[in-house]
Structure 1
Amino acid sequence: MNAIDSSLAIGRLNVHLHSAQPSATYRMMDRVAARRAAGAKVISLSAGEPDFDTPVHICDAAVDAIRSGHTRYTQVAGMRALREAVAAKFRRENGLDVAWEDTIVCSGGKQVIFNALAATLNAGDEVIVPAPYWVSYPEIVQLCGARPVVIACDSASGFKLTPDALDRAITPRTRWLILNSPSNPTGAVYSLQELRALGEVLLKHPHVLVLADDIYEHLVFDGAGFFTLAQAEPRIAPRTLTMNGVSKAYAMTGWRIGFGTGPRWLLDAMEKLQGQQTSGASSISQHAALAALNGPQDFIREARHSFERRRDLLVASLNGTPGLRCDQPGGAFYAFVSCKDLIGGTTPAGTVLRTDEDVAGALLEEANVAVVHGSAFGLGPYFRIAYALDEKSLHDACSAIDRFCKALS
């Protein structure tokens, strides 16, 4: 190929990539790494992962798998022993009538979501995404050639989707509803009654599939119970994909194991797609996940108590800081903080805060605290704090935020 011909190939990207945005969370993590490399001592409240080490018995299972030679390909949908453990988890903890054939294992929860949407969406389809949302939901929808229909859910509704808002958003083109509880970025948790009310709406629209992202299932506070949508309204279970994984519950984000259960026609399509994409997830990680699901569960309870203490410390501090307001989250390890009263202020360095992204940028540059601006999650002016770090660091971060806010003019 000559130089003229080869130039025609340069920059020819998939059309859907042009509208896709990089993850705001990872962009902030990159900025934190750059500042730390330059010598700054930054407290990062941006990364959405537990700060605990993976439990020892899970790590030991992975080492045993390596030494036992379990280092080869597995079935595309996951090794049967793990899928049986996943099915048992759904029966035991979620009341879902699931056999091992009704499950799929993927390389992380994000792949479960991507596979499901990529296998079912076509041009003109719509996906309802309540906001605030995890930053990847609308991007994945767009990458699959469909249109995200964002429904703003503000603090008046507890950042939760209401039945009326859902009913109004559904059209003949609606293909999916994505529901995340507990929520990233707000920590909002849907009650059994709230899920049943949403289920009543969905029963009127049998063409709508449901994706329940339950990845923060085990981080529900104040003694409240956790419920998933197919459990709350079993009549929509035949068109519901319930997604979960080991990343948040067992501090296994880097192990990259997610799983799901749903109708077999959908799982078959997801498996077909995965077979031409990544094939089976890491065999070592699958053995570690098996140990997580079948082994001692004490870690989950201890982690939940720790996160609940941190939440209480954080919320009390933020609500005592001028210009900030923080509703108490019911789960996960995020707080979604209103910074409306900071907008229009000027920092000591002369930065005018016109948006929540300006607030997040100034906190990093002038207070050495990293947060993620709320508009990246579909609702501003807020910022998200991930309180997945030790209490001393959390206290120091809150003190730095308080000094920053008091110094504004």
Structure 2
Amino acid sequence: MTAAVLNSLVTRLSPPPIPAVQAWGKSYSGGHGPLIDLSQAVPGYPPHADMLRWLGEAASSLAYANYGPIEGESALREAYAAHVSELYGANVTGGNIHITSGCNQAFICAVIAVAAAGDAVLMSDPFYFNHETTLSMLGIKTGFVACDSANGFVPTVEAVERALTPDVRALALVTPNNPTGAIYPPAQLKAIFDVCRNNGIWLILDETYRDFLPEGFGSPHGLLAEEGWQDNLIQLYSFSKSFCIPGHRLGALTAGENVVEEIAKIMDNLQICAPRAAQGAVARALPALAEWRAGNRLEIEARAKALSEVMTGLDGWKLEAIGAYFAFIRHPFEGRTSTDVAEQLAKRAGVLSIPGEYFGAEHARFLRFAFANADAATIRQLRGRMLDFHL
């Protein structure tokens, strides 16, 4: 008998990183106080009471018990299109919106729509690991746009142009960035978008954390108001962070109507439709909870400020980038990998973080802190733990 073979494009990948990191915390003795979990990016506060009520009403309704439209509920598509139009000063319609089960699924749909096995997609380096593994298991080659701390981890036009090869079909960027937190300036995004248009490739722009841009930042960019944006831009978004409902798995994709039609073919095979009850609840919440979401933005800013204060003069540790949900922090231990540092920090100091190497092999001197997970008082506890931590 001969054993069947599994897909090598999947088996060659490492196990999911978040569970591995969280397992380190189980070895923490508690000697410094409760475990501080800055690993997976989850809202550190509960959903609004109205959101929970609307979710319950929708989940118990026969109206959402059957299959729904593949592209998403019309009420949510229209409500989200109105929200996007107002935010970006653009004319986006419900026909430009496809609802997905989370933003990771939106990314899968986008890359399948624009690239085939053997084609290439560019990502920033450091990169969001789920994007990289998605491309790998689909047989899509990955190219990298180098981003360094000297430039605030923001990609330059020159770096994008250097990474271009004839087989590149798209450039995938995340802003505000995961893992660094770097916020890409609107002018820089416009310049990069122009490179994509001039070279006939797609810009896939993941804006999962855009609702946590600094107060007064304004529109994240003007790309959706550009004439012909539909020919080169696919924008991704997640409702999970803003509405504190990551377990309900709801994301959205904004693109040309022809792209939405193609993605419907993909979604019909992936899931048929995104969770319907959550769609019904979010359609109500988008206009109703705007003030609550604005308050959460201020709360995240307060947490970012607390972490910046904690890192000031912290015995060799250096805050290299911070923004929205994440901070990218250089550790002081020369010759020690970020995996080693993160594991020991979890087990001995009770602080969970993600090793920089998980976002690219060149980032062994960095840790990612998802600081939005913890309130400011908890974040301030980091200083003593990190001052006492030695390898």
TM-score normalised to structure 1 length:
0.89
Query: Partners of 2:153 and 2:30 in 1: how far apart?
Result: 38
Residue 231 of structure 1, aligned match among 199, 224, 248:
224
Does 1:337 pair with 2:321? no
Query: Partners of 2:270 and 2:230 in 1: how far apart?
Result: 27
Say if 1:250 and 1:299, in contact at 8 Å, map to a contact too. Answer: no
Does 1:75 pair with 2:57? no
Say if 2:237 and 2:253, in contact at 8 Å, map to a contact too. Answer: yes
Query: Partners of 1:229 and 1:177 in 2: how far apart?
Result: 18
Structure 2 unaligned segments of length 5 or more: list them.
none
Distance change in 2, residues 1:169/1:284 (3 Å): same
Distance change in 2, residues 1:162/1:141 (3 Å): same
Computed over aligned residues only, the root mean square deviation of the Cα atoms, in angstroms, reads 2.1
Provide the residue aligned with 1:399 in structure 2.
Answer: 384
Amino acid at match of 2:325: F
Query: Identity rate of aligned residues, in percent?
Result: 27
Provide the residue aligned with 1:23 in structure 2.
Answer: 16
Provide the residue aligned with 1:186 in structure 2.
Answer: 180
Structure 1 unaligned segments of length 5 or more: list them.
345-353
Q: Which has the larger radius of gyration?
A: 1
Query: Partners of 1:338 and 1:234 in 2: how far apart?
Result: 41
Say if 1:246 and 1:292, in contact at 8 Å, map to a contact too. Answer: no
Residue 368 of structure 2, aligned match among 384, 393, 400:
384
Say if 2:238 and 2:251, in contact at 8 Å, map to a contact too. Answer: yes
Structural mapping, 1:304-323, within 5 Å = 304-323=297-316
Distance change in 2, residues 1:129/1:161 (3 Å): same
Query: Partners of 1:129 and 1:258 in 2: how far apart?
Result: 20
Does 1:263 pair with 2:256? yes
Deviations 1:356-405 (A, max 9, x none): 1111011012111111111111233100011121222212233211211x
Distance change in 2, residues 1:237/1:101 (3 Å): closer
Q: How far does residue 16 in structure 1 lie from its aligned partner after superposition?
A: 1.2
Aligned pairs, how many? 386
Q: Secondary structure at the match of 1:210?
A: strand
Amino acid at match of 2:370: A
Distance change in 2, residues 1:258/1:317 (3 Å): same
Distance change in 2, residues 1:234/1:219 (3 Å): farther
Q: How far does residue 129 in structure 1 lie from its aligned partner after superposition?
A: 0.4
Deviations 1:206-263 (A, max 9, x none): 1x11111011111112532342463375444322111112111121211110011112
Query: Partners of 2:222 and 2:131 in 1: how far apart?
Result: 18
Residue 203 of structure 1, aligned match among 194, 197, 200:
197
Q: Secondary structure at the match of 2:204?
A: strand
Provide the residue aligned with 2:118 in structure 1.
Answer: 124
Say if 1:315 and 1:327, in contact at 8 Å, map to a contact too. Answer: no
Q: Secondary structure at the match of 2:210?
A: coil
Provide the residue aligned with 2:353 in structure 1.
Answer: 371
Provide the residue aligned with 1:8 in structure 2.
Answer: 3
Provide the residue aligned with 1:248 in structure 2.
Answer: 241
Say if 1:196 and 1:232, in contact at 8 Å, map to a contact too. Answer: no
TM-score normalised to structure 2 length:
0.93
Amino acid at match of 2:303: R
